């Protein structure tokens, strides 16, 4: 599966206080009970009809059918009308334009029509701070305390403390290896970059390369690049680059990470032919044992379930090494999200339906029907019986002190500069030893400067 990190999305803990109900555009219907205390079904609503629109993608729509039925049973008299389609945004766009949106939307923030981002720019989504500051439906704690640590700040697309996205499915990305091979050989999965390169000669002596990646799609290396930058210089270093600040791509933490890739090339640790391979070809060569490590996401095993592989292959998730022992490790994460339009006819019932998604029994139902992991603490344990073991192990890194990290480039006016391409497309030249890490950094810095000038004319 080709992935586009979105990141677009989510950030670190639970920022933003409760919003003023008089300023967030969600006028309460007369007679409705508001707030979020109590168990499902305790509240009553004058308007009991809820219109939801859900994206029908890799997770399917069986979960949404099941949760709609369960919600109706828990809230007697409520009727949910669901529209589900792989092109859901195309279907509901006329409603959005006409000011008659559904009450609840589920889709990736980076959906390909750009409608969600447009709704953010237009101020057309309902602020959700009160939902996350209020109590969860199945515990006395605030709902925000149930959400995966380090995530809610990424639900603030304007970085202003106002939450407009509610996280749903998560993916975790990093480096993968053959766990059975390492155990058989007595090799340790590397924790630092020194450990990583120490395996280089070991790999060569065993007839393998140290590293490969999805060559013609070099942005797969995003899942290594940004966590390594954050580990080296903190999220501040990453933010400096993502916001096009001067020197963002020539600062020391970024130069260190670019140096990792240059070293892979210089010391001949890249699998031969990598830069010409597509994602399926590179991943197959990895599974066949021709390289020790490859970047990918928690969907890896499912995506390659029918691909050939070396005997005894077992998916192992490493995450991303750090430069020094004791550094905070990060992994790149991506998410899909839920939204309530500001002009929703039934915002209070939509908020209740949103809270309901985070109940433990509903998180488990979701995993059963969709094979997905929701952005809730402990969700991976609830999903354990329904997801591949490799995905379970990948998600466990959150419980081991690794922090989620998401990529959010600062938005600029339209430009010919596609900054993610400017960052990763030169990697082929680096790996072919035609470009140094310093030249790579200078090239990206020039592109970043063009966007900085658009922000500060």
Between the alpha carbon of residue 433 and those of residues 12, 224, 266, the distances in Å are 37, 20, 7
- Inside any domain, residue 410: no
Contact 258, 264 (CB under 8 A): no
CATH of the domain at 278: 3.40.190.10
DSSP string, 43-55: S--S--EEEEEEE
| Whole-number pLDDT of residue 366 | 97
The answer to whether residues 276 and 166 belong to one domain is no
| Whole-number pLDDT of residue 39 | 56
Rounded to whole angstroms, how far apart are CA atoms 304 and 302? Answer: 6
The answer to whether residues 296 and 284 belong to one domain is yes
Contact 393, 316 (CB under 8 A): yes
- Inside any domain, residue 107: yes
Domain residues for 384? 49-171+333-405
Rounded to whole angstroms, how far apart are CA atoms 284 and 307? Answer: 6
| Whole-number pLDDT of residue 326 | 93
The answer to whether residues 136 and 75 belong to one domain is yes
Residue that is last in its domain, among 405, 425, 446: 405
The answer to whether residues 200 and 303 belong to one domain is yes
Token pair belonging to 408:
């959010």
Residue that is last in its domain, among 366, 385, 405: 405
The answer to whether residues 316 and 431 belong to one domain is yes
Contact 126, 24 (CB under 8 A): yes
HSE-up of residue 284 (Cα within 13 Å, Cβ side): 8
Looking at residue 187, the DSSP 8-state letter turns out to be P
Rounded to whole angstroms, how far apart are CA atoms 338 and 166? Answer: 5
- Inside any domain, residue 110: yes
The answer to whether residues 140 and 228 belong to one domain is no
The answer to whether residues 392 and 376 belong to one domain is yes
Residue 46 CB contacts under 8 Å (≥ 6 apart), including other chains: 29, 30, 31, 32
What would the pLDDT profile of 139-184 be if each residue is shown by its tens digit? 999 999 999 888 898 899 888 899 999 999 999 999 999 999 999 9
- Inside any domain, residue 24: no
The answer to whether residues 249 and 130 belong to one domain is no
The answer to whether residues 162 and 310 belong to one domain is no
User: What is the length of the chain?
Assistant: 457
- Inside any domain, residue 41: no
| Residue ranges of the chain with per-residue pLDDT less than 70 | 1-42
- Inside any domain, residue 2: no
The answer to whether residues 212 and 83 belong to one domain is no
Rounded to whole angstroms, how far apart are CA atoms 434 and 436? Answer: 7
Decide: helix, strand or coil at residue 340: coil
| Whole-number pLDDT of residue 220 | 95
- Inside any domain, residue 10: no
The answer to whether residues 321 and 303 belong to one domain is yes
What would the pLDDT profile of 117-133 be if each residue is shown by its tens digit? 899 989 999 999 999 99
**Domains identified in the chain, total number:** 2
- Burial of 185-223, coded b for 16+ CB within 10 Å and e otherwise, reads eebebbebbeebbebbeebeeeebbbbbbbbeebbbbbb
Rounded to whole angstroms, how far apart are CA atoms 299 and 304? Answer: 9
Give how far the C-alpha of residue 370 lies from the chain's centroid of Cα atoms, to the nearest Å: 17
| Whole-number pLDDT of residue 27 | 35
Between the alpha carbon of residue 205 and those of residues 202, 209, 250, 282, the distances in Å are 5, 9, 36, 21
Between the alpha carbon of residue 66 and those of residues 29, 39, 60, 136, 338, the distances in Å are 28, 19, 12, 21, 17
The answer to whether residues 212 and 293 belong to one domain is yes
- Inside any domain, residue 241: yes
């Amino acid at each position: 599966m080709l992935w586009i990190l979105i990141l677009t999305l989510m950030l670190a803990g639970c920022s933003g206080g409760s919003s003023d109900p008089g300023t967030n555009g969600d006028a309460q219907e007369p007679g409705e009970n508001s707030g979020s205390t109590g168990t499902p079904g305790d509240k009553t609503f004058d308007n009991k009809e809820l219109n939801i629109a859900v994206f029908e993608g890799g997770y399917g729509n069986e979960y949404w059918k099941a949760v709609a039925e369960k919600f109706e049973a828990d809230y007697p008299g409520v009727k949910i009308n669901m529209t589900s389609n792989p092109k859901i945004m195309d279907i509901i766009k006329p409603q959005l334009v006409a000011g008659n949106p559904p009450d609840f939307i589920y889709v990736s923030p980076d959906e390909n029509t750009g409608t969600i981002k447009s709704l953010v720019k237009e101020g057309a989504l309902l602020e959700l701070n009160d939902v996350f500051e209020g109590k969860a439906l199945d515990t006395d704690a605030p709902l925000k305390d149930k959400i995966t640590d380090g995530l809610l700040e990424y639900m603030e697309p304007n970085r202003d403390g106002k939450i407009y996205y509610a996280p749903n499915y998560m993916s975790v990305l990093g480096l993968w290896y053959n766990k059975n091979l390492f155990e058989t050989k007595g090799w340790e999965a590397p924790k630092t970059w020194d450990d990583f390169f120490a395996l280089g000669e070991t790999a060569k002596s065993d007839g393998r390369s140290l590293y490969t990646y999805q060559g013609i799609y070099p942005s797969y290396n995003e899942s290594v690049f940004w966590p390594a930058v954050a580990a080296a210089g903190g999220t501040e270093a990453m933010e400096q680059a993502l916001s096009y600040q001067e020197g963002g791509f020539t600062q020391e933490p970024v130069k260190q990470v670019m140096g990792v890739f240059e070293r892979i090339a210089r010391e001949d640790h890249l699998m031969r032919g990598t830069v010409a391979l597509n994602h399926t070809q590179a991943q197959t060569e990895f599974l066949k044992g021709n390289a020790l490590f490859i970047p990918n996401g928690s969907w890896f095993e499912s995506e390659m379930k029918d691909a050939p592989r070396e005997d005894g292959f077992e998916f192992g998730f490493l995450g991303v090494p750090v430069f020094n022992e004791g550094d905070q490790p990060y992994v790149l994460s991506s998410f899909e999200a839920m939204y309530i339009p500001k002009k929703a006819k039934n915002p209070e019932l939509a908020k209740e339906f949103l809270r309901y998604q985070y109940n433990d029994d509903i998180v488990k139902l979701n995993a059963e029907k969709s094979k997905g992991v929701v952005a809730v603490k402990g969700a991976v344990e609830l999903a354990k019986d329904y997801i591949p073991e490799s995905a379970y192990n990948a998600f466990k890194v959150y419980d081991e002190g690794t922090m989620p990290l998401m990529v959010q480039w600062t938005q600029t006016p339209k430009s010919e500069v596609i900054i993610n391409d400017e960052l990763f497309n030169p990697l082929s030249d680096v790996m072919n030893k035609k470009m140094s890490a310093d030249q790579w950094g200078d090239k990206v810095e020039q592109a970043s400067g063009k966007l900085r000038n658009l922000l500060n004319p």
